[in-house]
Structure 1
Amino acid sequence: MLIGEYQHNIDSKGRVIVPVKFREDLGECFYVTKGLDGCLFVLSGEGWKGLQEKIQSMPLSKSRGLQRFFFSGATDVETDKQGRILIPQPLRDHAGLTKDVTFVGVSSRVEIWDTSRWNQVNGELTEESIAEAMDELGI
C-alpha cells in the first residue's frame, strides 16, 4: 500500500528523487501520467495495466476522453542510480512542477504535486467534508 507524504526538489532538467518507500512498492519500472486536480499520477506496472483494462473495457464513445487524457502524455520510467526519475516537460507543465514537489501515497497510486499547490488543496479539506465522506462509507 502506498502511503505517506514526502518532500523533494526537482532539478532544472526535470529529475526528482522518488522516495525509497515508494520505489520499493512501485517496482523497477512504473508509469507517470497526468492526474486530476493539478497533480501527476504514478502507477506501478500492475496499476497501469489495471487502468488500461478498465478504460479499454468501456465503449469508445465514453472512454476516448479518458484514453487521451491518461495515455497521451504518459511515460514509463525507471530510477537512475541516485533513485531519480525524469519527468518530461509536458507533465511538469500539467502539474506546475518547478522546484519543491510533494509525493503523496494514496493507497494504489502515488501523486506528485507542486508543494504550494498540495498545501492549498490539502488545506481546503475540512473536518466536515471528511465526516460526510466517512458517513457515506459507513465508517
Structure 2
Amino acid sequence: MTKPDTGRKFLGNFSVTLDAKNRVAMPVSLRETLQRSYAEESDRVIVTLASGEKSVAVYPVSVFNAYMDTLGSASELNADSQALLMLLSTKARECPIDKQGRIRLPEDLIEYAELGKEAVFCGHVTRMQIWNPQRHEAFVRNAMATMAERMKSAEKAVNRDKAE
C-alpha cells in the first residue's frame, strides 16, 4: 500500500445539491486531494455520523480504519470510547465514488444530518463533512464568536504581561 501524501489536506467548503437518488458530487478540489493523497483508495469513501456535530462525516478508508483502531484500543472499561466506536461503526457505510465523482448517501445519515436538496460539503483536514447549510452557518458563526473571545482574552494577557 502506498503511504498517504500527508502534505495535502481536505480544505474549503462548497455548496452542493443532493439529487433524487441521494447522490452528492464531491467537489473537485476535495476529490483531487483524495486522489493525490489516498490514490489506492480514491474510488470509495466511508460515510458515517460526524462525532460531535449533526452532520455526515466522509473519510478516506484508511483514515476511518485508523480512527476505529484508535477507539478500539481504548480500554474496554472506557464506556465513552466503546459507545462511540459502536455508534460510528454501526452507522458507517463504504460508498463507491461514481465516474461523475458522486457518492450516494444512506437515508439514515441524511435524516440524522437533516439534509435537504441543498448541502455544504466541507474539508476537515483529514476527512470531510456534509452539512445542512443552516446548521453549518450556525456552527461557523458560533465558532467565530468563540474564536473572537479567545483572541480578545489572549490579547489582554499579552498586554497585561507588557505592562508588568
TM-score (norm 2): 0.75
- Structure number with the bigger relative contact order (C-alpha 8 A, sep ≥ 6) is 1
Partner of 1:38 in structure 2? Answer: 54
Bigger fraction of residues in strand? 1
Unaligned 5+ runs, structure 2: 1-8, 35-41, 156-164
TM-aligned CA distance change 1:80 to 1:130, over 3 Å: farther
| Cα distance between partner residues in 1 of 2:96 and 2:152 | 39
1:130 shift after superposition? 5.1
Paired residue for 2:111, among 76, 88, 93? 93
1:110 shift after superposition? 0.6
Deviations 1:65-109 (A, max 9, x none): 111221111111121122111000011011111111101111111
TM-aligned CA distance change 1:31 to 1:134, over 3 Å: farther
1:25 shift after superposition? 2.4
SS for the counterpart of 2:19 is coil
Deviations 1:46-76 (A, max 9, x none): 2112101101111223232111221111111
Mapping for residues 1-139 of structure 1, pairs under 5 Å? 1-26=9-34, 27-35=42-50, 36-62=52-78, 63-125=81-143, 126=145, 127-129=147-149, 131=151
Unaligned 5+ runs, structure 1: none
1:117 shift after superposition? 1.1
| Counterpart amino acid of residue 43 in structure 2 | E
SS for the counterpart of 1:111 is strand
TM-aligned CA distance change 1:23 to 1:57, over 3 Å: same
SS for the counterpart of 2:111 is helix
Identity of paired residues, percent? 25
Max radius of gyration: which structure? 2
Moved over 6 A (4+): 132-135
| Cα distance between partner residues in 2 of 1:120 and 1:133 | 23
TM-score (norm 1): 0.87
| Cα distance between partner residues in 1 of 2:153 and 2:29 | 28
| Cα distance between partner residues in 2 of 1:109 and 1:81 | 21
